[in-house]
Amino acid sequence: MPESTITPDGAPETPHLPLTPADEGSRTRLAGWFSALVSLAMLVAVVIELRKLEFGQVLELLPSHAGFWVFFAAYYMALPISEWLIYRRMWPIPFVLGMAALLRKLVSNELLLGYLGEAQFYGWVRSHLKLEATPFGAIKDVTILSALTGNIMTLLMLIFAWPLVSSGQIGMEMKSTFLSLGVVLVTSFAILLFRQKLFTLPKRELWFISLVHVLRILAVLACSAMMWHLVLPDVSVTLWIVLATLRMLLSRLPLLPNKDVVFAGLAVFLMGHEVQVAGLMTLMAVMLLVAHLCVGAIFGAVGLLDSRSAK
């Protein structure tokens, strides 16, 4: 029988019994079943979304410039590649299988439910990687730092864009802007205040993860600007970078209504290309949906087969 230990306040601490191989195997099987269920749900979501999609409209919007597709691929893969770099630093996660799992995580979050992908990825790690410690703490830290770095980047964007925002010429309501800013500040402050209880990884690893998240955000902004410039080459890359930054700012302000209307106002104010920018944003929305559907169909099926073979 394991011995009890004494806590700093003098009270006896309840002993923790080690997991038996049978318990560990049961948890691994449960994680594999959960990953399979999410893969099945992903396939169902793909079928539902495919029935809504107008393929004629998609074909009309597709650009022919080869460079556009290079930047679109980099834009789409920025998140899974950055996360693979983070997790590869901690675990022996192979590139091909790891990228497949991270792409499934991305599509699960986009097509099904936010943060469901993290739960599925946790199940995949438990069933495929032999780790001494549970991966929950590392996945939690990466997710929290992603939100925190996004909030910090949003605040920096808002500081630089404040003269334009406060001018009232782009249609942003100051009340909604301040409320959104308050939410961003409160959540960021809460994470920093309780960081010792929230985070599991060492400080050096947390700084590395934060740096990768920041570089990923900057890469997404650069790829967005280059894609838009290739579609509308009359507009300079610099102006597209400004517009991409402001669009990311709008997307991360939680309580700001009519974000599409505000972005259209931004486009008119900065460029005077309302119709072209509206068509460009439609193009990007449709292409991202098609990419999610293709990736979801492929890796959802692979996830099901992988889960069955792992039993």
pLDDT value for 102: 93
Percentage of residues of the chain with pLDDT beyond 90: 22
For the segment 29-43, the average pLDDT, to the nearest whole number, is: 61
Say what the pTM is.
0.77
pLDDT value for 223: 93
Which of 24-28, 85-89, 160-164, 278-282: highest mean pLDDT? 85-89
What is the domain partition of the chain in residue ranges?
30-310
Contacts of 259 (CB under 8 A, 6+ apart): 250, 251, 253
Q: Which two tokens stand for residue 252?
A: 């991360």
pLDDT value for 120: 82
Which of 44-53, 150-159, 220-229, 272-281: highest mean pLDDT? 220-229
